[in-house]
Amino acid sequence: MALRMGIIAGALLLLAIAGVMLGTLDLKQAMTSTWVLQELRLSRVLIAILAGAALGIAGALTQGVIRNPLASPDLIGVTAGSGLAATTTLLLFPQLAYGWLIPAAIIGGLLALLLLLWLTGDHALSPSRLVLVGIALSFWFGALVDWLLSSQPQQINAALVWLTGSLWGRGWSHVWLLLPCFLVLIPFALTLSRKLDLLALGDDTAHCLGTEVRQVRLLALSTAVALAAISVAVCGAISFIGLVAPHLARLLVGGRHLLLVPTAALLGAALLLCADIAARTLAPPIELPAGVLTSVIGAPYFMFLMLRYRGW
């Protein structure tokens, strides 16, 4: 297991180096102007790693709590809720500093989660309901975002790029926003891992093994929402990484969260980094948003999971 995690970490490092090397400016030019390397690519690579890791962990926590491999923050509407809150802030209060997007996104994500739990009621743990209501919520939030955008046409471009999930134009200031949040949230997520292992045995058993089930569920979900929301605030709505990373991680290192959570983080980071490298090298000089690429690959993967899933 440790070996597998090591391999993933190594692959991530290689990707990171590739991410710094590759780009629309060729390497020789880039070397002569270290500014390009440092300012742009390195910070961008770091953001992809941090945001990807956040999405991976958020997915692992959500799946752990909901006990369902089809759950992830974007499928249950949390990401869309964060997106709506962040767009609202971006469009209606353009004078606010960028850092305000983070609390706004977190609040939006939490409200979306509360709305989801309220709408699903007693069936909060039934996978089909959760995903269906979550998708409906996502559409609804999406519609509100569209409405906002069309009523504020002067801001539409910046907001659109941000909404599809792009790492374009992100710099060191964003790294400094992301880093402290993660230094707190990631270790905290790890401290929940044992409890999540027990939660996987069912509420009754978890209870009888000394877990305060409600408390763990609340803490883990809020952590997941916070992580997803922060990545939304920085990179926009990047879908499917929260679904795919923990799922692959489970295949690779099994179901114990002390391994699963860090592996999902590594894989999430690697996936987003890949998507971002592809996004800026596939069709230069045009930049595709990384979020488009993750959806192009993630959506069929989700369908594949749905077809295989037997727990309806």
Partner 1 sequence: MSYLSIEGLRLSYGKQIVIDNLDLEIRAGKITALIGPNGCGKSTLLKTIARVLTPERGTVRLRGEDIHLQNSRTVSQHLALLPQSPITPEGISIRDLVSYGRAPWCGRWGRLSGEDEQIVSDALEHVGLTELADQPASALSGGQRQRAWIAMILAQQTELVLLDEPTTWLDICHQIELLQMMRQLNQAGKTIVVVLHDLNQACRYCDELVVLKHGQLQRQGSPADIFTSELVSSVFDVTAEIHRDPIAGSPTLVALN
Least distance from C-beta 240 to partner 1, angstroms? 21
**Cβ-based nearer residue to partner 1, 121 or 285:** 121
Q: Of the two residues 284 and 311, which places its CB atom closer to partner 1 in the complex?
A: 311
Which residue lies nearer to partner 1 by CB, 180 or 210? 210
Which positions lie near partner 1, rule CB under 8 A?
67, 191, 193-194, 197-198, 200-205, 207-212, 250, 254-256, 258, 260
Nearest-approach distance from CB 203 to partner 1, in angstroms = 7
CB of 258 to partner 1, least distance (A): 7
For partner 1, give the closer residue by CB, 177 or 248. Answer: 248
Residue 56 and residue 74: Cα distance in Å, rounded?
Answer: 11
Q: Which residue, 57 or 198, has its beta carbon nearer to partner 1? A: 198
Shortest reach from residue 268's CB to partner 1, in Å: 18
Nearest residue (CB) to partner 1, 28 versus 310: 310
User: Shortest Cβ distance from residue 67 to partner 1 (Å)?
Assistant: 7
Closer CB to partner 1, 197 or 287, in the complex:
197
What is the closest distance, in whole angstroms, from the C-beta atom of residue 222 to partner 1 in the complex? 18
Nearest distance from C-beta of residue 201 to partner 1, angstroms: 6
- Reduced 3-state DSSP string for the chain: CHHHHHHHHHHHHHHHHHHHHCCCCCHHHHHHCHHHHHHHHHHHHHHHHHHHHHHHHHHHHHHHHHCCCCCCCCCCCHHHHHHHHHHHHHHHCCCCCHHHHHHHHHHHHHHHHHHHHHHHHHHCCCHHHHHHHHHHHHHHHHHHHHHHHHHCHHHHHHHHHHHCCCCCCCCHHHHHHHHHHHHHHHHHHHHCHHHHHHHCCCHHHHHHCCCCHHHHHHHHHHHHHHHHHHHHHHHCCCCCHHHHHHHHHHHHHCCCHHHHHHHHHHHHHHHHHHHHHHHHHCCCCCCCCHHHHHHHHHHHHHHHHHHHCCCC
